[in-house]
Amino acid sequence: MKKLTPSLEDYLEAIWIVSLSKKTVRVKDIAEFLKVRTASVVGAMKILDENGLVDHERYGYIELTRKGEKKAKEIYGKHKILCKFFNEVLGADKGVAAEDACKFEHYISKEILDRIVMFIRFLETCSNGDPRWLSGFRYFVEHGTCPEPCPKRKEGKKDTK
């Protein structure tokens, strides 16, 4: 199997997401979901079928193969993690977080994604509410200044500017 393009990964993810709410997935469903032409979906399904990721007969339903489902879940999992990080940690608007997660999910390394997952777990398990520094960051994003009192930089630390 060749490396999938971001566009083909989007098709796999779309099939997975649509299949969560519909018993059968059709070309029309994917076209509506991704806001693309049906001809684009048909072309993508041909490539995904050739790579053993979907089963699709002309004018028939689209089904993920076992390999396709695994890949689709992997992409969707990255998307959810990145959305959560962008929205809940960085405080980005949900729509912007979802849109950017869709872009990042195709390029982020496993190492960085794993670090983001660990960071989110750290925040969820090791803090009693938001840590002071995270609340301070959110204040800074909203107001453009540090909250008072702002913790002083420890002596001996160099400015990273």
The residues, ordered by sequence, that sit 6+ positions from 16 with a Cβ below 8 Å of its Cβ are: 64, 69, 72, 73, 75, 76
- The pLDDT, as a whole number, for residue 45 is 96
**Which mean pLDDT values do the consecutive 10-residue runs of the chain (161 residues) have?**
88 97 95 96 95 91 96 96 94 95 94 94 78 81 81 56 47
* Structural domains present in the chain: 6-70 (1.10.10.10), 73-142 (1.10.60)
pLDDT tens, 105-116? Answer: 999 999 999 999
Whether the Cβ atoms of residue 14 and residue 33 lie closer than 8 Å to each other: yes
Q: What is the pTM of this model?
A: 0.81
